[in-house]
């Protein structure tokens, strides 16, 4: 082999091993960069902490209140939200009962029938209902002393 061919052989070895060396150095650098330690780095990095937003309390607006001791219905009232609450109180000595019908404006319990929103004995409590926006009236049948309040969520 001539002395002229010797440098080409060295270059071929360099060409073969240079990419291997570069890949090894890059791999070590990436590993060092990604390594997490508990040791402080001396850098102060501000972190963003999210403060949980407190859930808003549900708020209710009174739409109508009706009370009596016999059957009764009221004038038309408007519901504007899709979630309402009926709060009721029934008192009486001799098995009081009350059926509360929330009727759509233009409909009648006599002609269209209905299912009571609440049927009860001496008790107080509340229940939710989901009526579309529009005009309604209460048709309450029963005996004993009773109070009905309709509220809507705001």
Co-location of 27 and 100 in the same domain: no
| Amino acid 144: pLDDT | 87
Co-location of 71 and 146 in the same domain: yes
Task: Quote the number of domains for the chain.
Answer: 2
Co-location of 27 and 65 in the same domain: no
In the chain, pLDDT over 70 holds for what percent of residues? 64
Co-location of 67 and 13 in the same domain: no
d(CA 149, CA 21): 82
At residue 135's C-alpha, the angle toward residues 101 and 73, to 5°, is: 40
| Amino acid 95: pLDDT | 81
| Amino acid 123: pLDDT | 87
φ/ψ of residue 133, rounded to 5: -60, 145
| Amino acid 40: pLDDT | 52
| Helix, strand, or coil (residue 14) | helix
| Helix, strand, or coil (residue 153) | strand
Enclosing domain of residue 24: 1-32
Co-location of 27 and 71 in the same domain: no
| Band of pLDDT at residue 117, cut at 50, 70 and 90 | confident
DSSP one-letter code for 127: E
> Which DSSP helix (H) or strand (E) runs through 68?
strand 60-68
CATH number of domain containing 83 = 2.60.120.1300
Closest to 120 measured CA to CA, from 151, 150, 86, 152 = 86
Residues 6+ apart with CB under 8 A from 75: 137
């Amino acid at each position: 082999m001539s002395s002229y061919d010797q440098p080409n052989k060295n270059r071929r070895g360099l060409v073969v091993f240079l990419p291997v060396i570069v890949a090894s150095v890059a791999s070590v650098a990436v590993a060092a960069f990604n390594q997490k330690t508990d040791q402080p780095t001396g850098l102060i990095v501000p972190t963003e902490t999210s403060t949980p937003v407190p859930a808003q309390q549900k708020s209710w607006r009174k739409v109508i209140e009706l009370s009596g001791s016999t059957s009764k219905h009221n004038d038309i009232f408007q519901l504007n939200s899709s979630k309402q609450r009926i709060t009721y109180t029934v008192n009486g000595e001799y098995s009081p009962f009350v059926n509360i019908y929330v009727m759509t404006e233009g409909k009648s319990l006599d002609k269209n029938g209905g299912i009571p929103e609440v049927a009860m004995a001496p008790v107080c409590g509340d229940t939710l209902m989901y009526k579309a926006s529009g005009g309604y009236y209460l048709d309450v049948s029963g005996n004993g002393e009773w109070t009905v309040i309709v509220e809507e969520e705001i």
